[in-house]
Structure 1
Amino acid sequence: MRLLGRLLHFTLSLGLLFIVALPLANLAALGGLVAGAAVVLGVAGVVLVGRASWVRVRTPDDVHGGTLAGRVAPAFVRRDWAWPQYFAAQVLLDARALVERVRLITRAVWVRPYRWARAHRLRWWWPFYVPVLASQAGVTVGVVAGVLGAGLVTAGVSAAAWLVGVPVVLLLRGLDAGWQTVFGARASCRRCHQLAAVPAYRCRGPHPPGDRLTGADLHRDLRPGRLGVLWRRCGCGVLLPTTVLRAAFSHQLEACCPSCTEALLPGAGVVTDVRMPVFGAASAGKTQLIMSALAGLEQSAKRVGVAVALPDEHSRQQHEVYARLMREGASPAKTEAAGPPVAVTLRLARGPRVALVHLFDAAGENLVDREQNARLAYLDHARSLIYVLDPFSVRRVRDEFAHGAPEIFAVANPATYDPEDAYNATVQRLQEFGVPTGRRRLAFVVSKADLLEKMSAGPDDPAAVRTWLRENGLNNLVLAVERDFREVRYFLVSGRDAGPDGGFGPANWILTREWSGLG
């Protein structure tokens, strides 16, 4: 009887297999194939919309902590606190999450039906498990095909994004660099005197106070790259423009010095930056020269239709003091020797062309002292410099006229340092710090022309200054100046004259070469 029962069960099972199970298996396999592909599409959709808690997301904290691939220039310290570009980081995490999730789903498709069948002792009705096996195989094939398809699409889109993105990034960075080269634009700090091609930018979005303290709100490298090509999203959620050209005019950003984080003037890094360091011995007439240069630049700018403004409070205060002294014909107070100088800045605008003109005045003691002038970093970044020589400090002039015109010498208050020593102290400092003075230009200014004229002891006009210097024992200084600098122009200047015979002459000569002259 047992044998007959087994034979009957086997016959019935074969009948069920061929009549019911195999036809159902074909349908189940097809359904499983579709279901597997649908599973992949569904999981991919969940991953892409960011609704899955099991997907690891590359956050601004990860980026700021250094987990994003790629080299960061030492000047920028680390990557900024911002969301990375999708194809720079997140795409690999999403792909990994997709594969892991569909793997778990496929495993469940194979394991759970088998466990259920074993728990309910359905091994005697094995033909009915054939459609289940077919559906499991179909799901597996559908999942594999879906994953391969998704991988090919992802790889293709990613490759296209990189192929388009990299040239666009290079083009936008090149536009920034080209603009700055053509217009001589740099970010100039008034506090630490550092010069940067790429300013840091403080995000004005909803940052907590702690971000202000840690600098998380500071974007040190806002150029196009892994954090965004045309735009980037700050960790606070605010969308920020990339490139220095666009960032300079964004209301969401404040330009800062990348070295000391001091706020920079509007347009820093985009407008022409003209630095005019004035150096020379104490009492050579440096401050008087700057006073007349400012007055002359302002008057000439208004005369030729160039808009002129004082962009910061320090410059406005100094301008008021200098303007009053020029009106009264009074001499300025002695420049304080404590600390590095803060530049007086003029903003000049001729149509779309804008320049920030900075005039630096340091105490003569600091300039002559080699240890002190090592702190004057503003000297290193200027393309042009102004050297002021007091003619009354020239030994031959002093020996010949000191006793014959004591009242003029008293008013002149001659510099006590030797002119060559005053020059060499600064220029040797520049060369020791690696500054290529052979690529710089120098305005060589002989000051106090109004007093020289009273004694008939000076040159007749600026063109004769070089000859006058050589005739009065300064031939070595002339040779050194013309050896050290690429271009040298000599000036005879009265610091009390706001016209071409005053500080305006050398200032306008430099301005003509670095921006645009004022006539």
Structure 2
Amino acid sequence: MEELFFFMVILAGIALYCLALFFFAVVAGPFVVLGTAAVFVGAAVVGYVRILIQTMSNPDPAQRDPRGFPPDREPEQAYRQYFFGPAMFDLRRILRQGQAGGITLFQDWGASITGRFITSPGFSPLIARPIGVALWAGLIVGGFGAAVLLAVVALLHALTIGVAQLVSRAAIGVLRGADTALLAAKGIRGMTCPHCYRKIDYPSYSCEAPDCSRRHRDVRPGRYGVLRRRCACGARLPTLLLLGSHQLPAFCPESECGRAMSDETGRRREQIVPLFGARAAGKTQLMAAIMMRLMREADRDRIPARLADDETSRAYRVLTEILQEAGHVTGTGPELPRARSIYLGSGRSERLIHLFDAAGERFTTVDRTDELEYFRAARSLLFVLDPLSVPAFRDTLRPQAQDTLDWSLASKEPPGLVFDQAVQTLIQMGAPAKRTRLAVAVSKFDLFDGLGSAPSRTSDSAACERWLTEELGLGNLIRSMRHEFGEVRFYFTAAVLTADGEVDPTIANLSSWLLGGERLPRQLRKLTTARPRAEPSAQ
């Protein structure tokens, strides 16, 4: 009887235990499973967010990982714009770390549940193990749910990066278009390198940060920045002229050149003015006189003008000192000439004037005319004609003046040869000569003024043209000039200083017409104001 009683008790206990398990599985178990799953998903999300914050809090991809687009391995030494590589790199890194962290979290939780509720429970295994099973079920559900949730988050992250990159690309296109439109509105259609003469769309810029001289070939909006780019040194550089990129040191982007361009290149419209003529025709001296006249008038606040760069400033000081002391400037050497650049005008009418003085032999040596690339962009040319090089000129002088004139100053090449070669160069380059203005400067007028049949220095263009045609027999050359160019003017010039140290008045009208051809006549008109005549200094 007792055995039956104990058996019944055992059966009752088993029944109660099974009932309790059923009750736990039906009533409490789901809450344990769902609660465990929710807590695990929350812990996984917190871990993912922590990894995300740790990654995004460091703005330097190279410090996050050596493979993260270090600037010293980029084509340009700058950090990539975040949505052009680093963002996807960060996403992959976050996903890798998030996956590893999720697996580690799952394993840690599983080991803890197994140890505390299944293999080594701290209380009755009959109670602990069902709880452990429920916790494991919740962990499995939570692991699956966390994987799905984080996959959705990663997908949204990737979509956000994709949309941001599209927006960035659109912004880049808009900004580049706005910059191009702004340049076109200012009449800026490219920039000319004063060294290699190539027409470029945008200069390279150098970083101005202390102890940094990294060259950025193209700072415009792109993969390295939209409004600003970050140099490898950490300095921020503007990407557009309208944002101030013209304030950076500009350089020619051509690899075989790479030399410094004028200050504030690209900010103002450029005007190319080549001086061409035979060797020893007086081009360099005439250019020095034109520059000196402009800067003297600027010093008197009569016209707005300023030298455009340090190299022009150094050359100007040398030229003016030689012109003041000796009255004769050494001609251009055989090396490629560097343009002398001047900002002329003010406000919207300001122009960057490039004066090119090429050595005369470039116009008589066919294989060297390809070095005259700047002629293609010029719309105003200055041909320097040395009358002393024309045989008929001697006959225009009085007999006693023929022997007193220093004929060693005469050019050795006839002006017609140089002019014809220059015209052929223009034709080969495809330059629109018919839309180009030509000023013809009859040089060295101070040497023969009053010694023969030449009109006075105040003579107009027609009188100068008649003298060249009728007295010097250059009718064919004059007709060729009229035929090739849209507009031609003739000037007697004396590139010397007067007794009171002023530039000879003959330079004023020439400068005004030559440089005033591109919407600057109102400001340059002051150059033609009559001044008291003074005798020129000795050559």
1:495 aligns with 2:495: yes
Give the 3-state SS of the residue equivalent to 2:218 in structure 1.
coil
Q: Kindly indicate whether residue 349 of structure 2 is the aligned counterpart of residue 350 of structure 1.
A: no
* Equivalent residue runs for 1:41-440 within 5 Å: 41-50=49-58, 56=65, 59=68, 61=70, 65-66=73-74, 78=75, 80-110=76-106, 125=129, 128-149=132-153, 151-152=155-156, 155-156=159-160, 158-159=162-163, 162-163=166-167, 166-167=170-171, 169-171=173-175, 174-175=178-179, 178-179=182-183, 182=186, 184=188, 189-207=193-211, 217-248=214-245, 250=247, 253-259=248-254, 260-302=257-299, 305-310=302-307, 315-316=312-313, 318-320=315-317, 322-323=319-320, 331-348=327-344, 350=346, 354-397=350-393, 406-407=402-403, 410=406, 413-433=409-429, 435=431, 437=433, 440=436
Counterpart of 1:32 (choices 33, 40, 51) is 40
Task: Find the aligned partners of 1:54 and 1:129 in 2 and give their Cα distance.
Answer: 44
For CA contacts below 8 A with separation 6 or more, give which structure has more relative contact order: 1
Structure 2: state its 5+ residue gaps.
1-6, 526-539
Match of 1:477 in 2: 477
The reply to whether residue 455 of structure 1 matches residue 452 of structure 2 is yes
Q: Is the 8 A contact 2:461 2:489 kept in 1?
A: no
Aligned-residue sequence identity (percent) comes to: 26
Deviation at 1:396, TM superposition (A): 4.5
Distance in 2 (alpha carbons) for counterparts of 1:53 and 1:181: 41
Q: Distance in 2 between matches of 1:404 and 1:463?
A: 28
- Which residue of the other structure, out of 10, 22, 25, is the alignment partner of 1:17? 25
Listed one character per residue, the Cα deviations across residues 188-246 of structure 1 (whole Å, up to 9, x for unaligned) are 555545554422222132557xxx5xxxx111211122212222211111122221344
Cα gap change, 1:416/1:103 in structure 2, threshold over 3 Å: closer, same or farther? Answer: same
Secondary structure of the 2:98 match is helix
d(CA) in 1 for partners of 2:265, 2:324:
32
Q: How far apart, in 2, do the equivalents of 1:357 and 1:267 lie? A: 13
* Residues matched between the structures, number: 495
Q: 2:515 matched to 1:516?
A: no
Displacement after TM superposition at 1:281 (Å): 0.8
- Superposed CA offset, 1:62-110 (max 9, x none): x5645xxxxxxxxxxx4x2111111222221222223333333344455
Encode CA deviations 1:337-369: one digit per residue, 9 max, x unaligned: 332234444444535764443433333234322
Q: Distance in 1 between matches of 2:44 and 2:192?
A: 61
**Cα distance change on mapping 1:59 and 1:463 into 2, 3 Å:** farther
Structure-2 change in CA distance of 1:223 and 1:53 (3 Å): closer
Specify whether residues 143 and 341 from structure 1 end up closer, same or farther in structure 2 by C-alpha distance, changes over 3 A only: same
> Is the CA contact 1:283–1:413 (under 8 Å) kept in the aligned structure 2?
yes
Please give the alpha-carbon distance, in whole angstroms, between the structure 1 residues aligned to 2:411 and 2:329: 15
**Range with greater deviation from structure 2 (409-418 or 387-396):** 409-418
Change (3 A) 1:308 1:478: same
- Judged with a 3 Å threshold, the aligned counterparts in structure 2 of structure 1 residues 370 and 25 are, in CA distance, closer, same or farther, namely same
The gaps in structure 1 that reach 5 residues or longer are 67-77
SS of 1:454 mapped into structure 2: coil
- TM-score by length of structure 1 reads 0.77
CA contact (8 A) 2:295 2:305 kept: yes
CA distance in 1, matches of 2:112, 2:449: 111
Work out whether 1:442 is the aligned partner of 2:446. Answer: no
Q: Deviations over 1:103-149 (max 9, x none)?
A: 33344455555667788659994663233222332343244234424
Q: Flag the 1:288–1:128 CA change in 2: closer, same or farther, 3 A.
A: closer
Q: CA deviation at 1:278?
A: 0.9
Q: Which moved more, 1:404-413 or 1:83-92?
A: 404-413
Structure 1 match to 2:4: none
Structure 2: how far apart are the matches of 1:400 and 1:349? Answer: 41
**Partner of 1:86: helix, strand, or coil?**
coil
- 2-structure distance, mates of 1:248, 1:53: 26
1:432-466 residue CA offsets vs partner (Å, 9 max, x unmatched): 45555455433232334452653225695213445
C-alpha contact 1:185 1:269 (8 A) present in aligned 2: no
Distance 1:501 1:181, change over 3 A: farther
- Equivalent residue letter for 2:94: L
Instruction: Return the alpha-carbon distance in structure 1 between the equivalents of residues 482 and 66 of structure 2.
Output: 62
| Contact 1:345–1:357 (Cα < 8 Å) also in 2 | yes
SS at match of 2:186: helix
Q: 1:288 to 1:238 in 2, by over 3 A?
A: closer
| Equivalent-residue separation in structure 1 for 2:464 and 2:234 (angstroms) | 62
Which piece of structure 1 moves more, 84-93 or 125-134? 125-134
Cα contact 1:31–1:135 (8 A) shared by 2: no
Runs of 4+ in 1 over 6 A off after TM superposition: 7-12, 51-54, 115-120, 497-500
Deviates more, 1:120-129 or 1:166-175: 120-129
Between the aligned partners of 2:284 and 2:398, the Cα distance in structure 1 is 24
Task: Confirm or deny: 8 A CA contact 1:30 1:135 kept in the other structure.
Answer: no
Separation of aligned partners in 2, 1:121 and 1:59: 46
Distance 1:38 1:325 in 2: 78
- The alpha-carbon deviation at position 371 of structure 1 amounts to 3.2
* 1:235-287 Cα distance to aligned partner (Å, 9 max, x none): 1111222213444565xx43333344434443222234443221101232323
2:83 touches 2:168 (CA, 8 Å); kept in 1? no
| Shift, 1:376, TM fit | 4.6
Change (3 A) 1:40 1:54: farther
Q: Given the superposition, is the C-alpha separation of residues 43 and 413 from structure 1 closer, same or farther in structure 2, using an over 3 Å criterion? A: closer
* Amino acid of the structure 1 residue aligned with 2:132: F
